[in-house]
Amino acid sequence: MAVPVSQAFTVATYVLKQKLSGRKRYPLVLMLEPLFRCNLACAGCGKIQYPPHILKAQLTPEQCFKAVEECGTPMVSIPGGEPLLHPQMPEIVAGLVARKKYVYMCTNALLLKEKLHLFKPSKYLSFSVHLDGEKEHHDMAVCREGGWDIAMEGINAAVAAGFRVTTNTTLFDGADPNSVRRHFDQLMAAGVESMMVSPGYTYEKAPDQQHFLGKAKSRRLFRAILSNRKKNWEFNTHPLFSEFLMGKQSFECTPWGMPTYSIFGWQKPCYLLQDGYADTFEEMLESTKWEEYGARSGNPRCANCMVHSGHEASAVDYNFSSLKGFWETAKKYMFKPQYEDEGAMKILNEWKSDSHGPLVQISDGATPVVVSTTITETSNANMAGD
């Protein structure tokens, strides 16, 4: 089962209430970013390029709870930065669990094993481990040799201790679909509950600007990866979002579906773009010029975007907007289609993998580092220990 029945029921009830009340724009998952600092400096990340005083700042537990109550979503995702670097993260998570929120705490898992004892297993808590592929590919993507081994140790420890563990994988140009499929096999064998996969977004601030996927390439890659899927693979993304990635569905983005709250306030318009901030969730909803965003708007920053934070809520909304959408989705949950596709099999068989550039270790934080072969300086990538 991709998510527990109680979670599916809570989310379905919540969305139905929003639809019945005629609310046009409603949030589904709060993206709560309590801090931006990280103990990695991934080449495709757009979050860690802030100056040191911003990287040192963090939301208090009270600020987190206020944002969660203001927004009212049944699910809260905690990305970052690396949430486990926040000294009060156990208190934040416990407070959200006490409020019966389904929490996905996103982590690179470098600190997961040593901090596991600070958390309690709960149906409301899932560690969502960021793993970008098989060992060599992941270490390359996160610019850290040995990162995969440590993350897998964290996963094994969390699974053994009875926690819900899921994974999130971000793919960039050059990803090898055969390798991604082997990666899925490894994760399921390790006992993870379910997996999430999404294309990366072209962050303007990311060090590596050469390896983001355009839409046509994304669809081809995801068709190869997600067609002819194995029976034991479990995904926690909506089935229609997965079809959107494969080019079988078309959705406009609904960025209000996964609003972002950070030390700057409520971010406009989405998790990826920063076109200003609002003090309250309602103010953000009211003051954002939504017509200026999404593929149809012609905004060039949205042209290649297919990320889950913009489009998965669209799939969920479609699911609950008509009987047809409801029935279409119900069938996919009941019968779990494997998407047999000879064309996709041919792509897999003929795929030639690109060779990686040299792997570059991130610094200890004292000196600027060069990540990937695209030269970029990151002055404060590692501020662990605050």
For the chain, count helices (H), then strands (E).
Answer: 14, 11
User: Which residue's entry shows tokens 């030390």?
Assistant: 263
Q: How far is the CB of 300 from ligand SF4 (least distance, A)?
A: 10
| Least distance (Å) between residue 305 CB and ligand SF4 | 3
CA atoms within 13 A on the CB side of 38: 28
Q: Which residue, 75 or 272, is less far from ligand SF4 as judged by CB? A: 272
In this structure, what token pair is assigned to residue 245? 């990635």
Q: Using the minimum distance from each CB to ligand SF4, give the nearer residue, 31 or 110.
A: 31
Eight-class DSSP state of 138: H
Cβ at position 299, least distance to ligand SF4 in Å: 6
E strand map for the chain: 29-32, 75-78, 102-107, 125-130, 164-171, 194-199, 260-262, 265-269, 274-278, 369-370, 377-378
Q: Measured from the CB atom, is 305 or 383 closer to ligand SF4?
A: 305
To ligand SF4, the closest distance from the beta carbon of 204 in angstroms equals: 11
Q: How far is the CB of 290 from ligand SF4 (least distance, A)?
A: 9
Residues of this chain that bind ligand SF4 (CB under 6 A) = 253, 255, 269-270, 272-273, 293-294, 301-302, 305, 307, 309-310
Q: Comparing C-alpha atoms, which of 148, 153, 146 is closest to residue 138?
A: 148
Q: Which of 237, 227, 249, 273 is nearest to 324 (CA)?
A: 249
Rounded distance between C-alpha atoms, residue 348 and residue 365, angstroms: 40
Rounded Cα–Cα distance for residues 258 and 50 (Å)? 23
CB-nearer residue toward ligand SF4: 45 or 307: 307
Q: Which amino acid is at 221?
A: L
β pairing state of 194-199 and 164-171: parallel
168 vs 309 by CB, closer to ligand SF4: 309
**For ligand SF4, the closer CB: 51 or 298:** 298
**Nearer of residues 158 and 313 to ligand SF4, judged by Cβ:** 313
Structure tokens at 77: 């995702």
Please say which residue, 125 or 313, places its beta carbon nearer to ligand SF4: 313
DSSP H stretches of helix in 200-352: 215-226, 239-245, 281-287, 308-319, 323-335, 342-350
- What is the rounded distance in angstroms from the CA atom of residue 20 to the CA atom of residue 17? 5
Please say which residue, 84 or 258, places its beta carbon nearer to ligand SF4. Answer: 258
Q: Provide the minimum distance between the beta carbon of 25 and ligand SF4 in the complex, in angstroms, as a whole number.
A: 13
**How many C-beta atoms lie closer than 10 Å to residue 352's C-beta?**
6
Least distance between ligand SF4 and beta carbon 250 (Å) = 13
CB of residue 227 to ligand SF4, shortest distance in Å: 24
Question: Cβ of residue 306: shortest distance to ligand SF4, in angstroms?
Answer: 8
The CA distance from 70 to 73, in Å, is 9
**Amino acid residing at 355:** S
Under 8 Å CB-to-CB from 345, ≥6 apart: which residues? 227, 228
Q: Which is nearer to ligand SF4, 206 or 273 (CB)?
A: 273
Give the residue at shortest CB distance from ligand SF4.
Answer: 310
Least separation, in Å, of the C-beta of 268 and ligand SF4? 10
